[in-house]
């Protein structure tokens, strides 16, 4: 098990910034690829960004490229999502996810690749 707890969500105006954090438990955190997904009401869960265990490989959904940055601190068992230039369409519950890959890899952004999930944190962007 890899318990995950997100924080940092909130209400922000369009154009603003938020930084999400995800705290993980466990001794082998750097063995897990981490990702952020989001889910808006009535919509399917959507991939946002992923980072490999070492932090050396990242992947982003096209609509957030250049605005969002995923990072991790393996010494602190944490992953972050810096979100800048937020838009109303970014409004959703943001969920942290973890999975084990046999190599330093980020997968395809498919939620089915991820075994562990947090409860989510709400991000609301007002226009």
* Each residue's pLDDT tens digit, 88-119: 999 999 999 999 988 888 999 999 999 999 99
Contact 107, 97 (CB under 8 A): no
List pLDDT tens digits, range 46-77. Answer: 999 999 999 999 999 999 999 999 999 999 99
**pLDDT reported for residue 102:** 83
Tokens of 59: 């992947």
Q: Would you state the structure tokens that stand for residue 113, as one six-digit string?
A: 């690749």
How far is 57 from 116, CA to CA, in rounded Å? 20
Whole-angstrom Cα distance, residue 126 to residue 68? 18
**Residue 25: Cβ within 10 Å count:** 11
Give residue 43's pLDDT band: very low, low, confident or very high (50, 70, 90): very high
Whole-number Å distance between alpha carbons of 46 and 3: 21
């Amino acid at each position: 098990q890899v318990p995950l707890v997100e924080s940092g969500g909130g209400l922000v105006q369009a154009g603003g910034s938020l930084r999400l954090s995800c705290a993980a438990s466990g001794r082998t955190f750097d063995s897990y690829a981490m990702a952020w997904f989001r889910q808006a009401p009535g919509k399917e869960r959507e991939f946002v960004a992923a980072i490999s265990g070492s932090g050396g490989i990242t992947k982003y959904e096209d609509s957030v490229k250049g605005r969002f940055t995923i990072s991790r601190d393996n010494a602190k068992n944490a992953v972050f999502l810096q979100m800048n230039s937020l838009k109303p369409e970014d409004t959703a519950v943001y969920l942290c996810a973890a999975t084990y890959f046999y190599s330093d890899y980020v997968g395809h952004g498919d939620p089915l690749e991820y075994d562990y999930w947090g409860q989510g944190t709400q991000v609301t962007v007002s226009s």
